[in-house]
Amino acid sequence: MGRSFAGGPGREWRWHALAKRHPSAFLLAAQLLSLLVFPLMGDGSGGRLLLGAVALVVVPLALWVVMRSPLMNWIGWLLAIPAMTLTVLGVWAGYESLLPFAAVMESALYLYAAGGLIVYMLRDQKVTTDELFAAGATFTLLAWGFAYAYLACQAWHPGSFTGIEPGRQRYWLELLFYSFSNLSATGLGDTLPLNAPAKVLTMLEQFAGVGYLATVVSRLIGLTVIAGNRRG
């Protein structure tokens, strides 16, 4: 009985230490685990409730990561508080007209958090374990950020995207899949932009994806190889 009681605080302390050392790992895990929930979403109220619930978990985690980065923390608060407030009002209070504004704020927060992680990864010449987690978390933040931008674009400009079953709005999972495909330059074309705003957002994401892989990821790989050669 005493051993179990003693082990509880010890395990809690280890989790706290792990979260303090590798905050990017928790954000990456939350982003990836949320993918298991997204297939349950449709375009109805149930899907919006699930999306809002995921946002209320991931947005604070993104803010937590921003607070650990060298960028100004108050900007993260200015983005996170309106994003969560608009999400609650839009999803649970029934003010659906606020959902595009919530998507814009969440997009801005995720892109800002991605920028904070990029600054964090570029600030020195060493590659830590958390920076490797940060590389994956940054990719997911960029993908989520542009997916929310696509969601707002579609709400304000109906018919922005087409694909399978043309003529209807794209579901959230379709827009997220499109964002991942676009950011990683895989070239999967089941969703296509139709109007000027959607095409501009698509080009911006393509530019961000190429720039991220060319600068941040290649730099981390190069520094890891150099460190391995020195140890060898």
- Domain membership flag for residue 124: yes
- The answer on pLDDT for 70 being more than 60 is no
Q: How confident is the model at residue 161 (pLDDT cuts 50, 70, 90)?
A: very high
User: In sequence order, what are the residues at sequence separation of 6 or more whose Cβ sits closer than 8 angstroms to the Cβ of residue 157?
Assistant: 195, 197, 198
User: In sequence order, what are the residues at sequence separation of 6 or more whose Cβ sits closer than 8 angstroms to the Cβ of residue 76?
Assistant: 62, 63, 66, 67, 109, 112, 113, 116
- Domain membership flag for residue 3: no
- Domain membership flag for residue 8: no
**Quick one: how far is CA 130 from the chain centroid?**
17
Domain ranges, residue 140? 43-231
- The answer on pLDDT for 84 being more than 90 is no
Is the model more confident about 91 or about 211? 211
User: In sequence order, what are the residues at sequence separation of 6 or more whose Cβ sits closer than 8 angstroms to the Cβ of residue 13?
Assistant: none
pLDDT of residue 41: 63
Least confident of 81-85, 188-192, 227-231: 227-231
- Domain membership flag for residue 25: no
Do residues 24 and 137 touch, judged by C-beta distance below 8 A? yes
**Whether this model's pTM surpasses 0.85:** no
Do residues 98 and 84 touch, judged by C-beta distance below 8 A? no
Least confident of 3-17, 133-147, 202-216: 3-17
Mean pLDDT of the chain: 79
158 secondary structure, DSSP code: T
pLDDT of residue 122: 78
**pLDDT tens digits, one per residue of 17-68:** 555 667 778 888 888 888 887 776 655 555 666 666 677 777 777 777 766 6
pLDDT of residue 193: 95
Please state, in angstroms and rounded to a whole number, the distance separating the CA atoms of residues 109 and 64.
11
- Quick check: helix, strand or coil at residue 162? strand
CATH number of the domain that residue 176 is part of: 1.10.287.70
- Domain membership flag for residue 91: yes
- Domain membership flag for residue 33: no
pLDDT of residue 55: 72
Mean pLDDT, residues 109-133: 81
- Domain membership flag for residue 193: yes
Instruction: Specify the pairing of strand 191-193 against strand 161-163.
Output: antiparallel
- Domain membership flag for residue 35: no
Q: What is the dihedral of CA 221, 224, 226, 227, to 10 degrees?
A: 170
Q: How many domains does the chain have?
A: 1
Please state, in angstroms and rounded to a whole number, the distance separating the CA atoms of residues 81 and 62.
12
The phi, psi pair for 163, rounded to 5°, reads: 170, -140
Q: 């018919």: which residue's tokens?
A: 159
